[in-house]
Structure 1
């Protein structure tokens, strides 16, 4: 079965975005706006292992606002590594023309099998946000967290993962320095019932 992997950038104090849903803190970090050639293969390996991307409405609305993809729908694949996307939302949101997006509503637990099947034996990239990823964890569908930690703190905002996961469930498997960032990879074990 597909592995569900949460890959995201976060601040040192565990926020994905500030209280205004801005990622300006991320783009202010030296080197964040250019591809790091030393680690490009790592990201490409990750995206090659992915069959589908899953996101919530806040992440999707940020992509729409920041990328201009509605005016240039041909750029949509760049935002999702060329993969089909699942969008969890209860809102009526515009979809770029020709984009391979499946809109889902309700609890992710009811959609895990559909998403895994669409991934075709490859991994599922849980792009965010944190609350949606928490719901996948609640459903027993969170296998790995890859967090790229930026040298910034916000004090408030959208949390990385608004759930309590202790050391009994999180097992560090890799640490990499990527310029000013630290990339942490954790294996996530299922909670004991």
Structure 2
């Protein structure tokens, strides 16, 4: 049975997931246990990310312990120390659907924007969990790099005391077998 595939993403009011240089320092002012990230990550059995996100994460020091990760890339990249990494040049949706069988826990599509966009377009994402941060960056790395035509259904919204808003959407996109 395939696992639930979730894109869990923090995004600025104007739709950016990182600053132009890839920095996510804008998130530092909004750190909080209210978002239950630790509960989320405890339920993650596998990660999926693009090469730019992988390189950025490796630059911070691999924070995901032994959770296996699939990196979507056509380039040769080094394996992060202490990490279990598979690399794939397969199309995003196909790669995610194949990889979701490695775990019974949820699969987290970490990013970046190109991967999230392609995964939504292909119907590979089941749940989009957005944390809308009360800051406008003006420029940066966009969450969506192209229009995503599949319908999303808002199933939950929650406002936090620091101005962050959680939007939980499910996809109604028919999935290819």
TM-score band (shorter)? 0.7 to 0.9
Q: Corresponding residue for 2:75?
A: 91
Find the aligned partners of 1:191 and 1:113 in 2 and give their Cα distance: 13
Distance 1:155 1:189, change over 3 A: same
Q: Check if 1:23 corresponds to 2:6.
A: no
RMSD: 2.3
The Cα offsets for residues 56-95 of structure 1, whole Å up to 9 and x where unpaired, read as: 1111111122x2x2xxxxxx3xx22641111112222222
| 1:169–1:191 contact (8 Å) kept in structure 2 | no
Larger radius of gyration: 1
User: Is the partner of 1:134 in helix, strand or coil?
Assistant: helix
Q: Corresponding residue for 1:50?
A: 44
The equivalences for 1:36-185 within 5 A come to: 36-39=32-35, 42-65=36-59, 67=60, 69=61, 76=62, 79-80=63-64, 82-119=66-103, 121-165=104-148, 169-178=151-160, 179-185=162-168
Q: What's the CA shift for 1:52?
A: 0.3
How many residue pairs end up in the alignment? 174
Structure 1 unpaired stretches of 5+: 70-75
Q: Check if 1:14 corresponds to 2:8.
A: no
The Cα offsets for residues 6-38 of structure 1, whole Å up to 9 and x where unpaired, read as: 0011100111112222223222x2x42xxx344
The Cα offsets for residues 110-155 of structure 1, whole Å up to 9 and x where unpaired, read as: 3234211112x22110000011112222322111111111111122
User: Is the partner of 2:83 in helix, strand or coil?
Assistant: coil
Structure 2 unpaired stretches of 5+: none
**TM-score, normalised on structure 1?**
0.79
Q: What's the CA shift for 1:192?
A: 9.7
| 2:5–2:127 contact (8 Å) kept in structure 1 | yes
| 2:117–2:148 contact (8 Å) kept in structure 1 | no
